[in-house]
């Protein structure tokens, strides 16, 4: 809600300055006022209180004040917009700004409603109703289930890496679970590289149907099953082909870490197309870096051999 309020105030202030409307001369102070209430609402849950009832009461009071101040600025912004529409001649740029302001006002109204339902009424907001970024609405809540980093905000990317640590294929996972990409990733990679004969997956990619379809595409694959294993599952996962495929799996983790370290931990481009483009460029960069690493090691080995020969 703070982002929505901040953008509404900034954009309305810009239009007001253009049309000589003096109502928003202190817009920077207004943003600071909202931010102050926002921080107070944040901190209201963290301090130690005498009892739980006092904790809840203080939290609700802080959020009520936060909602009221934001709602008052939204109402003032709507009045200014109505005045501009009635008394001013608008250019295409002005109209575009008004549409942008209207979009942020809708975001603000939704966030006010959700804060009331969650904090004041104790309702649990379903994930499908939540927006994790006003500027990048495609951002998802990713539950990693790992110590230290249990959740992240972003978009998942699925990659296929070969034994030489080159990334062969990738796909941005727009609201998809791992098991929906198991077969399609294998087919797409096999089409590009016909010599592909084995792949190792994480447990999240498993389903009975996926295992049956992969057996028709690949000679060998490691697709570990979640939960308790039946005797048939134990037999499959103890086979030589499964073990050989599984032993190659640790290299994939190094690819994920390498992509993070080479810029893919944060995407500066905007929109879905910007994210897809940035991911593709990052993967190309990683593969080029890998070629450079191989050439550098080769030169080092040649240099060592030359030094040994010179000594002889």
Which tens digits make up the pLDDT trace of 241-268?
777 777 766 666 677 777 877 777 788 8
Give Cα separations from 154 to 22, 111, 136, 195, 274 (angstroms).
40, 20, 9, 33, 13
Tell me how far apart the alpha carbons of residues 198 and 245 are, in angstroms, rounded to a whole number.
6
* CA atoms within a 13 Å half-sphere pointing along the CA-CB vector of 255: 24
Residue 240 has pLDDT above 80, yes or no: no
pLDDT, residue 149, reads: 66
Average pLDDT score over the chain: 86
Rounded distance between C-alpha atoms, residue 151 and residue 187, angstroms: 30
CB 246 within 8 A of CB 203: no
| Res 253: pLDDT | 65
pLDDT per position as a tens digit, 150-176: 777 888 888 888 888 888 889 988 888
* Distance of alpha carbon 31 from alpha carbon 11, whole angstroms: 12
Average pLDDT over residues 78-86: 93
- What's the confidence (pLDDT) of residue 309? 83
Helix H or strand E segment including 221 = strand 220-222
């Amino acid at each position: 809600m703070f982002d929505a309020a901040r953008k509404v105030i900034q954009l309305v202030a810009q239009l007001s300055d253009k049309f000589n409307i003096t109502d928003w001369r202190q817009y920077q102070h207004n943003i600071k006022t909202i931010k102050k209430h926002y921080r107070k609402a944040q901190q209201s849950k963290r301090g130690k209180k005498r009892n739980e009832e006092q904790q809840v009461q203080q939290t609700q009071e802080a959020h009520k004040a936060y909602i009221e101040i934001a709602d008052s600025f939204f109402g003032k912004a709507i009045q200014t917009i109505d005045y501009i529409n009635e008394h001013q001649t608008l250019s295409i740029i002005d109209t575009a700004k008004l549409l942008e302001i209207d979009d942020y006002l809708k975001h603000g109204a939704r966030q006010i409603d959700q804060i009331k339902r969650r904090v004041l009424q104790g309702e649990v907001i379903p994930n499908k109703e939540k927006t994790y970024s006003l500027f990048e609405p495609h951002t998802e809540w990713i539950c990693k289930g790992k110590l230290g980093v249990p959740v992240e905000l972003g978009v998942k990317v699925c990659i296929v890496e070969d034994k030489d640590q080159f990334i062969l294929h990738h796909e941005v996972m727009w609201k998809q679970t791992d098991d929906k990409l198991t077969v399609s990733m294998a087919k797409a990679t096999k089409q590009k590289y016909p010599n592909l004969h084995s792949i190792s997956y994480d447990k999240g990619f498993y389903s009975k149907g996926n295992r049956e379809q992969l057996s028709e595409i690949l000679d060998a694959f490691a697709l570990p099953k979640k939960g308790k294993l039946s005797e048939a599952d134990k037999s499959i996962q103890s086979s030589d082909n499964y073990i050989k495929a599984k032993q190659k799996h640790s290299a994939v983790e190094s690819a994920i870490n390498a992509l993070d370290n080479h810029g893919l931990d944060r995407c500066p481009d905007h929109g879905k197309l910007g994210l897809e483009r940035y991911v593709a460029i990052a993967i190309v960069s990683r593969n080029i870096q890998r070629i450079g690493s191989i050439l550098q090691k080769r030169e080092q080995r040649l240099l060592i051999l030359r030094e040994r020969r010179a000594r002889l």
